[in-house]
Chain A
Amino acid sequence: MTIEVALVHRFGTFALDATFSIGKPGVTALFGPSGAGKSTIANAIAGLFRPAEGRIAIDGRVVFDSAAGIFLPPRVRRIGCVFQDARLFPHMSVENNLRFGWRRASERATENEFARVVALLGLDALLARKPARLSGGEKSRVALGRALLSSPTLLVLDEPLAALDEARRNEILPWLERLRDEAALPMIYVTHAIDEVARLSDSIVLLREGRVAAQGSTFDLLPDIEFSGAAGASPVGAVFPATVAAEHAGEGLTKLAFDGGVILVPQLDRKPGAKLRVRFKAEDVMLARAAPGAISANNVLSATVTVVRVTDEAHADVQLAVGGIKIVSRITRASLARLDIRPGLQLFAIVKSVTVDSR
């Protein structure tokens, strides 16, 4: 699966000029602040917006080429779309919403697959209801299911969680993770929320003022001070893949192995070998010049300083290499001076709190 995008369009003073390609399956985050052109690109890929110039090809199939005068309408492109305002058909039951795209698909999913998607998104109890009687989170799930059941070759999710409050967002995120892991469908995920990028995406296209400012794998880019600087966001402490090494490592802990050592987390109900994603915040990483002795934190990682950047009057971000992965620690400038932290220095990173996601 490859998606090639090259777009040029002007809206008054705003100029969109973005070129990127997505080579791997999985979730690609179109990430950037509001007004960076993310939604415009998503709409152009879906066929809901026709840019002045450019070319879009999905798996070698050209769906838009201004030079050749090609513009396939959305119903021919068959890209499953989910927007933040769910856009359910208000006059149809949930089941008929789900079956709308399903009925019109050239290769229709079987009833078994239909039932599987319904179960995957927890929609069984909602099938007979009208959209007006659904909560915001339920609407999002129905919109996801409807897009999925139209047998698309690609899913475009345009800020699907932006209209939801924190609690609802956390309710939907696990469904999105399941979708990513089980549907095996490439997804383009538009968002301005870095925590959603960290949790869901496999790769990132960073957009700023209509241009691609950075592109790469999530594990590589997110815990990178330069990237967070370009994104204008706080750096993520770390996000890296890990596998379960020992489910019961004693004392209610599970041991995870990653490219740089092992990490202990509270007991997980996952079998050895299961692939997981480990995240932590830059604020939750402390630095020490000597190995700390009596300390409550379980995870002390041996690290090498690679980049130091002063972020404001009081704080500095320190980027470190732990084996093959990058982590970032946010400390005060006072600590930076007291410990004399500079690139090349070997020290110990103490991780106070770790979040584990699927994959």
Chain B
Amino acid sequence: MLTAAESEALLLSLRISLVAVVCALPFALGAALALTRFRFPGKTLLVGILHLPLVLPPVVVGFLLLIVFGTREPVGGWLLAHLGLRFAFSWTGAALAAGLITFPFQLRAIRLALAGLDKGIGEIAETLGAGPLDRFVNIVVPLALPGIIAGAVTAFAASLGEFGAIITFVSNIPGETQTLPLAIYSALQTPGGEVEAARLSALSIFLALVGVTFAELADRRVRALVAQ
């Protein structure tokens, strides 16, 4: 079926996307909550900045990451020295790039879900003795779950396809940062690599189909669970 190199690229893509989505989720949830709950000066500007990765050329995002998280840069150097975290030329850096690029997808979906919540439900929970954290865990998150999942699935699918930011930030290293799109690109750069590129592209299409179907099923299941 798949060659060793192909399955390596596939598994790496899945791992990078999963880590990207899971790590970005708390930030997206926190930002969405803050944007829904509070009004403060410069809020519109902040919303714009948070959505920047969606509209910036991915190569710009990759370049910015390189400037900030490169091992010889202040932030990247500090993280490496004190936390042992290395992003440059590593799969973790690919996850960081993918997570950042797809962050707006999660933020948007969660903000929409939170805005759709009935304020009265939270008030009633408060009169019944539930404090802020209690309400967040037992009321807000379960009711916003369809939106949270929709955002995560969209971000996951977009992460699988991320190319520009990853290749700029962490280069194209087989087994470390060479995800499916990067492998397809490499195959196309190789004389006679069209067959390989076609196989990898078919794999990408198959993956996308599975993802979309799963998203649909998960959405239905969660909605039935929440019964809205």
Chain A residues within CB distance 8 Å of chain B: 46-48, 73-75, 77-81, 83, 85, 87, 89-91, 100-101, 104-105, 130-133, 146-147, 150
Chain A residues near B139: list those with CB within 8 A.
Answer: 89
Docked pose: A1 CA to B67 CA in angstroms: 68
In the complex, residue of chain A having the shortest beta-carbon distance to the beta carbon of B225: A91
Chain A residues near B225: list those with CB within 8 A.
Answer: 91
In the complex, residue of chain B having the shortest beta-carbon distance to the beta carbon of A146: B128
In the complex, residue of chain B having the shortest beta-carbon distance to the beta carbon of A156: B127
In the complex, residue of chain A having the shortest beta-carbon distance to the beta carbon of B120: A87
A104 to B227, Cβ gap below 8 A? no
Cross-chain contact of A83 among B124, B131, B138 (Cβ < 8 A): B124
A83 to B120, Cβ gap below 8 A? yes
Chain A residues near B130: list those with CB within 8 A.
Answer: 75, 100, 104
Quick one: CB contact mask for B121-135 with A, threshold 8 Å, 1 for yes?
A: 101111111110010
Cross-chain contact of A73 among B120, B125, B126 (Cβ < 8 A): B126
The yes or no answer to B228 lying at the interface (CB within 8 A) is yes
Closest beta carbon of chain A to B113's beta carbon, Å: 13
Known A74-B126, A130-B227, A150-B129; further 20 A-B contacts with Cβ < 8 A: A48-B123, A75-B129, A77-B127, A78-B127, A78-B129, A80-B127, A87-B121, A87-B123, A90-B143, A90-B227, A90-B228, A91-B142, A91-B226, A91-B228, A101-B127, A104-B129, A132-B228, A133-B227, A147-B127, A147-B128
A87 to B227, Cβ gap below 8 A? no
B129 to A87, Cβ gap below 8 A? no
Closest beta carbon of chain B to A259's beta carbon, Å: 40
Cross-chain contact of B131 among A46, A75, A89 (Cβ < 8 A): A75
Docked pose: A80 CA to B130 CA in angstroms: 13
Docked pose: A100 CA to B121 CA in angstroms: 12
Closest beta carbon of chain B to A95's beta carbon, Å: 14
Q: Report 6 cross-chain contacts, Cβ distance below 8 Å, ordered by A residue.
A: A46-B127, A48-B127, A74-B123, A89-B121, A89-B139, A104-B130
In the complex, residue of chain B having the shortest beta-carbon distance to the beta carbon of A83: B120
Docked pose: A100 CA to B125 CA in angstroms: 8
In the complex, residue of chain A having the shortest beta-carbon distance to the beta carbon of B139: A89
Cross-chain contact of A47 among B124, B127, B138, B143 (Cβ < 8 A): B127
Docked pose: A85 CA to B124 CA in angstroms: 11
Tell me the B15-31 residues at the A interface (CB within 8 Å).
none
Closest beta carbon of chain A to B84's beta carbon, Å: 41
A75 to B124, Cβ gap below 8 A? no
Closest beta carbon of chain B to A69's beta carbon, Å: 20
Docked pose: A85 CA to B128 CA in angstroms: 16
B129 to A105, Cβ gap below 8 A? yes
Most buried by A among B118, B121, B123: B123
A85 to B126, Cβ gap below 8 A? no
B127 to A74, Cβ gap below 8 A? yes
Cross-chain contact of A81 among B127, B142, B226 (Cβ < 8 A): B127
B227 to A75, Cβ gap below 8 A? no
Docked pose: A101 CA to B134 CA in angstroms: 12
Chain B residues near A89: list those with CB within 8 A.
Answer: 121, 125, 139
Closest 8 CB pairs of A and B: A104-B129, A101-B128, A130-B227, A74-B126, A87-B124, A74-B127, A91-B226, A132-B227
Docked pose: A104 CA to B125 CA in angstroms: 10
Docked pose: A89 CA to B138 CA in angstroms: 10
Docked pose: A183 CA to B4 CA in angstroms: 72
Tell me the B97-146 residues at the A interface (CB within 8 Å).
118, 120-121, 123-131, 134, 138-139, 142-143
Cross-chain contact of B127 among A79, A91, A131, A132 (Cβ < 8 A): A79
Closest beta carbon of chain A to B9's beta carbon, Å: 40
Chain A residues near B121: list those with CB within 8 A.
Answer: 87, 89-90
Docked pose: A147 CA to B124 CA in angstroms: 9
Tell me whether A81 and B124 are in contact in the complex, defined as CB-CB below 8 angstroms, given that A90-B228, A91-B143, A91-B226 are known contacts.
Answer: yes
B142 to A101, Cβ gap below 8 A? no
